[in-house]
Amino acid sequence: MNTHLTYRKATENDLDYLLDLRTKTMVPHYAESNLPTDHEATLKRVLYAFEKAHIILLDNQPVGLLKISTADHKTDVLQLQIDPAQQGKGLGKKILTDILNEALLAGNTVLLSVLKTNKAQYLYTSLGFKTISEDEHSYFMEFSPL
C-alpha cells in the first residue's frame, strides 16, 4: 500500500470527529471491559492530553488520532486510533514503526498501554513490545532500544 501519511495538530473544530472516532474504535473495547462508555466518559478521554493530539491524514483525509509525549528518554504513545474503515491496511504498523525508528535514534524507550480486549496488542507484540505489567483491564507495554 502506498501510504502518504501526514499529521496536523487537532483543534476544537475536530472534537466531533474525535468523539465519533473514539466511539467507533474504543467504546466496544470499553464496553467489553465493563468500563464507562457514556458521552461524558468518552469526551473526557478525547480531551485527555488534548494539547498533544494530532489528526492522522491519509491523502489529506482524516483517518485517525495520535497522541504522543516525549520526555526523559521516554516516548509515550498516549492514544493511537485508526478509523475502523482504514484498519487492516498497515497504517497503524507504519505509524508505530516510524515512532520506534525515531525513538531508537534518540535512545528512547517507547511505552503504551492497551486494553486486554483490544486486538491491537498483537500488532504491538509483533513490533517488539513486551508486556511489563498489567492491571484488571490493560497491558502496559514497552519497547526498549537496548
Query: Looking at residue 27, what is its pLDDT?
Result: 80
CATH of the domain at 123: 3.40.630.30
Q: What is the pLDDT of residues 106-128, one digit of tens each?
A: 999 999 999 999 989 999 999 99
pLDDT, one tens digit per residue, over 23-59 is: 998 888 888 888 888 889 889 999 999 999 999 999 9
Residues 6 or more apart from 61 whose CB is under 8 A from it? none
Domain that holds residue 43: 5-143
Residue 30, pLDDT score: 83
Q: Report the candidate in 78, 62, 73 with the shortest Cα–Cα distance to residue 26.
A: 78
* pTM score: 0.90
Count: domains in the chain: 1
In tens, the pLDDT along 81-90 reads 999 999 999 9
